[in-house]
Amino acid sequence: MHPITIQNIILHPIALPFVEVLYTSFGGEEFKSAILVELHTSDGAIGWSEIVADVRPGYGSETMTTAYHIGQEFLLPLLMNQTITHPSDVLRLFKPVRGHHHTKAGVEGAVWDAFAKSNEMRLADLFSASLPEGHTSRGVAVVGVSIGIKPTIQDTLAVIQKRYDEGYRRIKLKIKRGWDVELARGVRDAMPHITLMLDANSDYTLADADHLAQLDAFNLLMIEQPLADDDILEHSQLQAHIKTPICLDESMKSAHDLRVALKLGAIDILNLKPARVGGFTQSLMMYQICAENNLPLWIGGMLETGIGRAQNVALASLPAVTLPCDISATNRYFDPDITEPPFVLNAENSTLAVPNGVGIGVDVIPERLAEAKQRWFDVHK
């Protein structure tokens, strides 16, 4: 593989209407907000990526404004005119900047895409080539669907049925305090055999341990992030109280966090999101820890546009990703998306295919980018 030299990087704030708003314990948004990253190399390759910043600091602490500020003022200057021998160089180059994982991941991702394109390979194959032998991409990602908080159990059942009919074979429901045990019971009574899991997005405390233990009755695949977004210790204490496997999302921000969680017995399953951990280099380190420890692993989602979706599908196609991922088909999020072609669910086996093209394998449609950028400035002027 040959090196690339970074010539220019452009940040594009966008707003893209969601087909359906996803309500979580921290709220919901009408528009997908993101900052798209366009990176040009001296040999003419163009890498794309996406900073998954929200308008509000709900899931993570970053926002569109902090992402633009940190990206433009601090991260881009660290990359400009640099020659990159492998995209993992970026982690070292970003060392002077602490935190801001979403922003770092977004910018780093554009280097991965440009590097893959310049070397005429798929991003999924570049990931494989960056891992020890034996981690060849399977060419598909096994996926499920994440369903937001609805007003009633009946409404929730209707959406589950619709997604099930579309071919999704793993259902994740968002829960919050006061909307949990009855929901799980209602869904289990109506659909005893579906693969079901819950995501609490940090809404509980250890004082809720007995309450959460009631969820053990519903044969759940896992409960995701029940406790605080920065906690590891109390998750290990909760684990001793409940039988449902604990999956960590918000708390696992680095390979270091994952090692601590394993040591403390705080984690049964990892939800890995490149955006949360600061990029693909860190993600591949965590992927390897999962592989070495036989820790069940899946790739999470942040309602990404086609760009982030393509990256996530590439990562999810690696063989140590053992559980269905939160990466649904394009039509569940946007109509149209910013990229083509769309990701379409294969209903036979609940999968999305890795595109054949080089890099992320999808193309940004310039008119749609211009429109989404205009919309961002119209909505937030």
Question: Which parts of this chain interact with ligand OSB (CB under 6 A)?
Answer: 22, 59, 146, 199, 201, 249, 300-303, 326, 328
Q: Where are the alpha helices (DSSP H) in 83-152?
A: 89-93, 101-118, 123-129
Give catalytic status of residue 117 as yes or no.
Answer: no
Sign of CA pseudo-dihedral 252, 254, 258, 259: negative
Q: How far is the CB of 247 from Mg ion (least distance, A)?
A: 8
Number of H helices, E strands in the chain: 14, 15
Query: Is residue 203 at the binding interface for Mg ion, with CB under 5 A as the rule?
Result: no
Q: DSSP state, 57? A: S
Q: How far apart are CA 344 and CA 329, in angstroms?
A: 5
Which of the stretches 69-77, 215-223, 241-249, 330-338 binds Mg ion when contact is defined by CB under 5 A? Answer: 241-249
Nearest approach in angstroms of CB 356 to ligand OSB is 23
Beta carbon of residue 180, minimum distance to Mg ion (angstroms, whole number) = 15
Residue 174 annotated as catalytic: yes
Distance between CA atoms of residues 124 and 315, nearest Å: 6
Q: Are 324 and 144 in contact (CB under 8 A)?
A: yes
Cβ closest to ligand OSB, residue 47 vs residue 300? 300
62 counts as binding Mg ion under rule CB under 5 A:
no
If contact means CB under 5 to 8 A according to the sort of partner, which of ligand OSB, Mg ion, none does residue 301 touch? ligand OSB
* Active-site position among 117, 172, 174, 176: 174
SS3 11: strand
Taking CB under 5 A as the binding criterion, the range among 34-42, 61-69, 172-180, 199-207 that sits at the site for Mg ion is 199-207
H/E stretch holding 274: helix 274-277
Q: Is 326 in the site for Mg ion (CB under 5 A)?
A: no
The distance of closest approach from Cβ of residue 59 to Mg ion in the complex, given in angstroms and rounded to an integer, is 8
Nearest CA among 224, 196, 221, 226 for reference residue 210: 226
Residues that bind Mg ion (CB under 5 A): 199, 224, 249
Q: Which residues does the annotation mark as catalytic?
A: 174, 273
